[in-house]
Structure 1
Amino acid sequence: MNSWKWISAGVGSTSVLPAAWMLWHPTYTAGIILTIWSAVAALVAAWYVWRMEVRKQKVNQQNLEQSAIQTLNHHRHDWMNELQILYGYIQLGKLDKSVQCVERIKERMLQDSKISKLGLPSLVFYLHSYRTLNTGLQLDVDVVDHVQLEGKLTPSKEESFAQSIMQVIHVYQQSGSSTWEDERLLTLTFMEQGQELIAEFDGEGSFGDSDHIRQQIELAVQDRGIRVEQIHTENTTYRLCLPYVI
């Protein structure tokens, strides 16, 4: 929108000289020249805006592809570590440890599958790629009973809810600090209660003043139709509650 204002101002400024000439010498030729000049300036401006939009889309596409590659590489590295641990237990003949490792892998695969089926592409990509960000805040995601949001929220509600989740996670990232002795963990749980979608944030570790966190969370969801609830006053546990569209 701002670029259009600047371009409109530029188009107007380029027409100053021919307009002044027409006012000084109001002839048929001056009118034709002013009309052609304005049309050419408008076409050039439109071409410039189109070119900038194409360039912006290309940059965004490249950034998205790079993020996807980093996420895939990170997941591949994690799975290789799990397989190496499992292989080591098998070589040592530790059957009980091998079974525990397989169960852990199965549980993680199940949770990743549940996240992928949430139905909000931008949120799904963000949650899957979070581990590549190295923010100093560990994030665990749990989806209760295969929550699926497709068709239950309007497109605008889907986008605002996804943005709210990302912003609240950012609030926890910016609150407090982690040390070697005290690592911070944020557990995000998606669930349904009645006709509402619930996203529960449970923080473990040092997150600073809980009142400040609540203020920042309420600011993040302001005017989005999302209710904020504090579950445990002594902990930094909050819920975002959003009614379904039935």
Structure 2
Amino acid sequence: MNSWKWISAGFGLSSVLPVAWMLWHPTFAAGIILIIWSVAASLITAWYVWRIEVRKQKNNQRILEQRAIQTLNHHRHDWMNELQILYGYIQLGKLDKSVECVERIKERMLLDSKISKLGIPALVFYLHAYRTFNMGLQLEVDVVDHVQLDGKLSSKAENNLTESIIQVIGAYQLSGSSTWEDERLLTLTFMEQEQELIAEFDGEGSFGDLDSLKQQIEIAVQDKGIRVEQILTDNATYRLCLPYVI
């Protein structure tokens, strides 16, 4: 956006010469030249801005496609590991372990389905892709009673919620540090309470200065119509509360 302003300012300044000429020699010809110059500058500015926007959209689309492919490959690798474990139990005749493995796979498939049905594409993609691109903080997601947000939030509220959740997770990531002995876990739970969506963050492990973490969370939801509540537990626990559209 800033580049657009500089481009527009540059072409605007280019009209200084014909304006100065017209003021110095206010003739009909000077007026015609000024009009032609202004129209040409406007058209060139519009074309250049459009070209930059198209290029930016193509780059963003390419990045998104690459991330989607990496996420799919990561999930495929995880599922292949689960199937290999199951196949090993079957070969060894360990029926009880095979049943446990199948139940674990079923629970994971159900959770992935719940996340996919949240109804906000950008948020769903981020949650599915988190394990592929983020390290240093383990994220577990839970969805209580099949929460579905489609039609319950305005487009602006959906964008605000997605941005806030990503920024809050980022705040937890940057707070404190994990070690081999003390791994950090963040559990994100989606639930409904009356006419509100609740996104609860429960951090286990070291998250540094909790006052600083709280401040970063409050900044993440500022002017977005989202309320922050601190839950008194042994962990760093906060809730984001967003009213539904009635």
Q: Give runs of ≥4 in structure 1 deviating > 3 Å.
A: none
Amino acid paired to 2:65: E
Match of residue 58 from structure 1:
58
For 1:234 and 1:127, the matched residues in 2 are separated by 25
Amino acid paired to 1:147: V
* Deviation at residue 233 of structure 1 after TM alignment: 4.3
Does 2:174 correspond to 1:174?
yes
Out of 129-138 and 54-63, give the one that drifted further: 129-138
For 1:233 and 1:202, the matched residues in 2 are separated by 9
Q: How does 1:66-77 map to 2 (within 5 A)?
A: 66-77=66-77
Structure 1 counterpart SS, 2:78: helix
* Deviation at residue 226 of structure 1 after TM alignment: 1.6
Q: Deviations over 1:34-56 (max 9, x none)?
A: 21111111111110000000001
Match of residue 131 from structure 2:
131
Residues 205, 235 of structure 2: 8 Å contact kept: no
Compute the RMSD of aligned alpha carbons. Answer: 1.2
Amino acid paired to 1:223: D
Q: Deviations over 1:191-218 (max 9, x none)?
A: 1111111111111111112222112111
Residues 137, 185 of structure 2: 8 Å contact kept: yes
For 1:55 and 1:42, the matched residues in 2 are separated by 20
For 2:241 and 2:23, the matched residues in 1 are separated by 63
Match of residue 96 from structure 1:
96
For 1:31 and 1:212, the matched residues in 2 are separated by 61
Structure 1 counterpart SS, 2:197: strand
Structure 1 unaligned segments of length 5 or more: list them: none
Match of residue 30 from structure 1:
30
For 1:77 and 1:106, the matched residues in 2 are separated by 17
Query: How many pairs are equivalent?
Result: 246
Structure 2 unaligned segments of length 5 or more: list them: none
Match of residue 231 from structure 2:
231
For 1:173 and 1:180, the matched residues in 2 are separated by 16
Q: How does 1:214-225 map to 2 (within 5 A)?
A: 214-225=214-225
Please report the TM-score for the alignment, with normalisation by the length of structure 1. 0.96
Match of residue 39 from structure 2:
39
Out of 46-55 and 229-238, give the one that drifted further: 229-238
Match of residue 240 from structure 1:
240
Q: How does 1:143-158 map to 2 (within 5 A)?
A: 143-158=143-158
For 2:104 and 2:176, the matched residues in 1 are separated by 30
